[in-house]
């Protein structure tokens, strides 16, 4: 499968369009052409009217992870409000790169008016992007992996996820200590940035030793196994940072199994409901919530603006917040207006 995917990508990239060549490779965290989600109306005006005949495609990494289901919920919220249709589909699993590419290419061939895509890797949807560009179908890269040739990206600052967790350790462990990282999928921009933010911030402090940094491919089971090994090798470990909540919950199980819960803090990323519940039970120490429902709503707003001919910043930044037991109740609100107000005040 990997050889076939590489062959497909090579064929596509040999035909790189003039349009793509005009763009510098996208680095969503540092792209200077950016607008904060709270400034869309003030900078570009009210959201234009959405045609009820619009068909928008959402291409997700997987539907087995609550984060991606919640992102689709955000897409649907906007579509229901304005009366147009959305098809939200995902590959069978987070390793099915060709399956995800096939979904995107099928939507293009079926005449969808725009695509909101969350690639499994930074390159696996590049052929679909090329095809959409040739047909003038707007494509928005929504969070996680980042396509270098994407013209538009909606999502949070990935590096800041790791930075926020590192700052928690610096504040709560001024004496320093040993920590470990459970990484996501190798080669995915978001995973690399989250890990870098955590490591660089702690290394600059000078009091922490990062004794292990291993990939678990977004898998709870792999994270459990990796964390179990690390704890056996470093019984005095004071904390883990996992690149997503699914892995973090696996780490929590490993920490509990070795009776290290009082000693070893565990942080995740995403803000799924299971993470919030675990935090409130006093198990998971915290997560960096990137508010997928709100992110989906912002991404769909961006799509409507693009379809109506607006020229937007290349990156639209969405919010994130470090969630611990102290603020979990406040950020658990199901009142969308209240949550938006809370985040806008950060």
- The verdict on 60 and 181 lying in the same domain is no
Tell me, yes or no, whether 166 lies in a domain.
yes
| Number of structural domains in the chain | 2
Tell me, yes or no, whether 254 lies in a domain.
yes
Which of 70, 52, 98 is closest to 88 using CA atoms? 70
- The verdict on 120 and 223 lying in the same domain is no
3-state SS assignment for residue 159:
helix
For the segment 50-87, what is each residue's pLDDT rounded down to a tens digit?
Answer: 999 999 999 999 999 999 999 999 999 999 999 999 99
User: Tokens 């490591």 — which residue?
Assistant: 199
Tell me, yes or no, whether 265 lies in a domain.
yes
Asked if residue 130 has pLDDT above 90, the reply is: yes
For the segment 256-297, what is each residue's pLDDT rounded down to a tens digit?
Answer: 999 999 999 999 999 999 999 999 999 999 999 999 999 999
In angstroms, the Cα distances linking 23 to 31, 101, 223 are 12, 22, 37
Asked if residue 17 has pLDDT above 80, the reply is: no
Tell me, yes or no, whether 4 lies in a domain.
no
**pLDDT the model gives residue 187:** 87
Among the three residues 289, 306, 337, which one is the final residue of a domain in this structure?
A: 289
- Which range among 92-96, 157-161, 225-229 shows the weakest confidence by mean pLDDT? 92-96
Asked if residue 3 has pLDDT above 70, the reply is: no
- The verdict on 141 and 224 lying in the same domain is no
Instruction: Return the percentage of the chain with pLDDT > 90, whole number.
Output: 89
For the segment 229-264, what is each residue's pLDDT rounded down to a tens digit?
Answer: 999 999 999 999 999 999 999 999 999 999 999 999
- Cα–Cα distance measured from residue 196 to residue 124, given in angstroms and rounded to the nearest whole number: 23
**pLDDT the model gives residue 20:** 44
Asked if residue 18 has pLDDT above 60, the reply is: no
- The verdict on 143 and 166 lying in the same domain is no
Report whether 107 contacts 139 (CB < 8 A): no
Mean pLDDT value of segment 120-140: 97
Tell me, yes or no, whether 342 lies in a domain.
no
Tell me, yes or no, whether 328 lies in a domain.
no
- The verdict on 223 and 296 lying in the same domain is no
In angstroms, the Cα distances linking 332 to 143, 329, 336 are 21, 5, 10
Which of 324, 267, 274 is closest to 69 using CA atoms? 274
- Residue positions counted in the chain: 346
CATH code for the domain in which residue 220 is found = 3.40.50.2300
pLDDT band of 334, cuts 50, 70, 90: confident
Domain that holds residue 33: 25-156+291-319
- Cα–Cα distance measured from residue 214 to residue 46, given in angstroms and rounded to the nearest whole number: 45
Asked if residue 9 has pLDDT above 80, the reply is: no
- Cα–Cα distance measured from residue 135 to residue 109, given in angstroms and rounded to the nearest whole number: 10
**pLDDT the model gives residue 76:** 98
Q: Which residues of 241-257 are buried (b: 16+ CB within 10 A; e: fewer)?
A: bbbbbbbbbbbbbbbee
- The verdict on 215 and 296 lying in the same domain is no
- The verdict on 133 and 186 lying in the same domain is no
For the segment 185-206, what is each residue's pLDDT rounded down to a tens digit?
Answer: 998 999 999 999 999 999 999 9
- The verdict on 221 and 282 lying in the same domain is yes
Tell me, yes or no, whether 333 lies in a domain.
no
pLDDT band of 162, cuts 50, 70, 90: very high
- The verdict on 246 and 164 lying in the same domain is yes
- The verdict on 207 and 249 lying in the same domain is yes
CB count in 10 Å sphere of residue 174: 9
Mean pLDDT value of segment 159-179: 98
- Which range among 109-113, 176-180, 340-344 shows the weakest confidence by mean pLDDT? 340-344
Mean pLDDT value of segment 178-186: 97
- The verdict on 280 and 297 lying in the same domain is no
Among the three residues 245, 271, 289, which one is the final residue of a domain in this structure?
A: 289
**pLDDT the model gives residue 307:** 98
Pick 219 or 5 by higher pLDDT: 219
Tell me, yes or no, whether 240 lies in a domain.
yes
- The verdict on 189 and 280 lying in the same domain is yes
């Amino acid at each position: 499968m990997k050889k076939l995917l590489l062959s497909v990508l090579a064929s596509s990239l040999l035909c790189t369009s003039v349009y793509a060549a005009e763009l510098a490779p996208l680095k969503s965290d540092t792209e200077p052409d950016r607008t904060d989600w709270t400034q869309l109306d003030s900078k570009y005006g009210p959201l234009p009217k959405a045609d009820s005949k619009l068909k928008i495609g959402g291409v997700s990494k997987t539907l087995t992870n609550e984060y991606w289901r919640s992102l689709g919920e955000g897409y649907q919220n906007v579509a229901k409000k304005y009366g147009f249709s959305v098809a939200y589909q995902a590959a069978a699993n987070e390793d099915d790169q060709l399956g995800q590419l096939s979904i995107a290419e099928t939507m293009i061939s079926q005449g969808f008016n725009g695509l909101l895509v969350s690639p499994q890797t930074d390159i696996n949807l590049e052929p679909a992007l090329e095809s959409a560009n040739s047909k003038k179908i707007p494509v928005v890269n929504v969070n996680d992996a980042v396509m270098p040739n994407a013209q538009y990206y909606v999502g949070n600052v990935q590096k800041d996820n790791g930075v926020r967790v590192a700052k928690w350790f610096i504040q709560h462990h001024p004496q320093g200590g040993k920590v470990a990282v459970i990484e996501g999928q190798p080669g995915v921009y978001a995973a690399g940035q989250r890990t870098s933010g955590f490591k660089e911030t702690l290394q600059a402090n000078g009091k922490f030793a990062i004794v292990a940094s291993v990939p678990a491919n977004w898998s709870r089971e792999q994270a459990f196994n990796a964390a179990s090994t690390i704890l056996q090798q470093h019984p005095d470990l004071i904390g883990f940072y996992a690149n997503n909540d699914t892995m973090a919950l696996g780490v929590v199980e490993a920490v509990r199994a070795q009776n290290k819960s009082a000693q070893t803090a565990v942080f995740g990323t995403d803000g799924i409901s299971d993470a919030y519940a675990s935090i409130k039970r006093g198990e998971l120490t915290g997560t960096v919530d990137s508010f997928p429902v709100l992110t989906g709503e912002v991404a769909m707003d961006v799509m409507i603006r693009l379809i109506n001919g607006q020229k937007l910043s290349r990156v639209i930044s969405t919010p994130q917040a470090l969630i611990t037991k102290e603020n979990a109740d406040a950020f658990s609100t199901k009142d969308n207006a209240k949550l938006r107000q809370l985040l806008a005040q950060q």
